[in-house]
């Protein structure tokens, strides 16, 4: 099993202007991230518009990613679905395709109770043998999973090994990390709490900002690991305007796709109902990108 640790950009699904998935662009982007030295990547996540993709598109994206990565870095495939049955199918496909782990959230429309979420995670995880990273994001799923539910399913199911914690509550990251020591590890899922999460023990970051500034995100994590906290704060201060924009905009997918286009990478449009950035939003993004480019020079 590959070690899941560090900053993992959660990739967009690039598209052509007609809205069809650009699988060649996905492969080119993956090569870019590998060259930038990222610890790993995630496909078919929220930033990848998984709810806007057909089953066939999700499967083909996962297969394309596995082929391009070619075991060079860890690859996590998002396998979220509204029903447990579909999540089992998607997770089995990820395992068969060659993913190193699956990222699994609770049903996002049914708003299940904690005991239902426990059964969902347990059923899906026990259908496969690959590591499962469960995912708590009350902003998109409508449910803030109890800390005890997260700890219980991590204790009870051997291959539930990680959690992406996106509640925006740093005390939750702390408590899961400390109380789950030995059986579940935390990944930051809130871009504007990355360094804070590392300082309370998170061992990784599923990073939207890492699409746009992969080296800065990677260097931030590495500085913490090396104990260079002063330098980590310097890097974090440079990244925070981008992180805050992503978290506060409500248009994180469009922001990343536009930033990819501006950097000569594969981005393209998002599927409706998502609309492009306004002129004002686009200007703000360009200002942030210019600041990051100056920083990296």
Which residues are tagged catalytic? 135, 164
3-class DSSP state of 38: coil
The answer for residues whose C-beta is within 8 angstroms of residue 227's C-beta and 6 or more apart is none
Long-range contacts of 242-246 (CB under 8 A, 24+ apart): 242/191, 242/209, 242/212, 242/213, 242/288, 242/292, 243/191, 243/192, 243/194, 243/209, 244/192, 245/284, 245/285, 245/288, 246/191, 246/208, 246/209
Q: How many CA atoms lie within 13 A of 186 on its CB side?
A: 32
> Is the distance from CB of 134 to CB of 121 less than 8 angstroms?
yes
Report the candidate in 66, 54, 106 with the shortest Cα–Cα distance to residue 83: 106
User: How far lies 46's CA from each of 154, 171, 274, in Å?
Assistant: 23, 24, 13
Angle at 27 between CA 1 and CA 101, to 5 degrees: 20
Sign of the alpha-carbon dihedral angle for 123, 50, 184, 67: positive
Would you tell me how many other CB atoms lie within 10 Å of the CB of residue 2? 14
* Distance, CA of 168 to chain centre: 15
Q: What b/e sequence results for 285-295 when a residue is b if at least 16 CB atoms lie within 10 Å of its CB, and e otherwise?
A: beebbeebeee
| Nearest-angstrom CA–CA distance, 116 and 53 | 25
| Contact indicator for 104, 87 with CB cutoff of 8 Å | yes
């Amino acid at each position: 099993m590959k070690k899941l640790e560090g900053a993992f950009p959660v990739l967009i699904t690039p598209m052509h202007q007609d809205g069809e998935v650009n699988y060649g662009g996905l492969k080119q982007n993956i090569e870019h991230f590998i060259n930038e030295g990222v610890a790993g990547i995630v496909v078919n996540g929220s930033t990848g518009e998984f709810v806007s993709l057909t089953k066939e598109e999700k499967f083909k994206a996962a297969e394309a990613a596995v082929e391009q990565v070619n075991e060079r870095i860890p690859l996590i495939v998002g396998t979220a679905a509204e029903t447990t049955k579909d999540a089992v199918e998607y997770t089995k496909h990820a395992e068969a395709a060659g993913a190193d782990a699956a990222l699994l959230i609770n049903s996002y429309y049914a708003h299940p109770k904690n005991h239902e979420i426990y059964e969902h995670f347990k059923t899906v995880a026990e259908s496969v043998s690959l590591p499962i990273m469960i995912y708590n994001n009350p902003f998109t799923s409508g449910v803030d999973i109890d800390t005890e539910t997260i700890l219980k399913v991590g204790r009870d199911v051997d291959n539930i090994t990680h959690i992406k914690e996106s509640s925006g509550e740093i005390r939750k990251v702390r408590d899961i990390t400390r109380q789950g020591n030995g059986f579940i590890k935390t990944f930051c899922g809130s871009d504007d709490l990355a360094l804070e999460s590392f300082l309370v023990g998170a061992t990784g970051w599923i990073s939207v900002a890492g699409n746009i500034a992969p080296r800065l995100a990677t260097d931030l994590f590495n500085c913490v690991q090396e104990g260079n906290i002063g330098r980590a704060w310097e890097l974090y201060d440079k990244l925070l305007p981008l992180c805050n924009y992503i978290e506060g905009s409500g248009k994180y997918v469009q922001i990343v796709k536009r930033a990819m286009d501006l950097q000569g990478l594969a981005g393209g449009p998002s599927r409706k109902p998502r609309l492009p950035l306004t002129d004002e939003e686009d200007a703000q993004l360009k200002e942030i990108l210019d600041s990051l480019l100056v920083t990296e020079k």
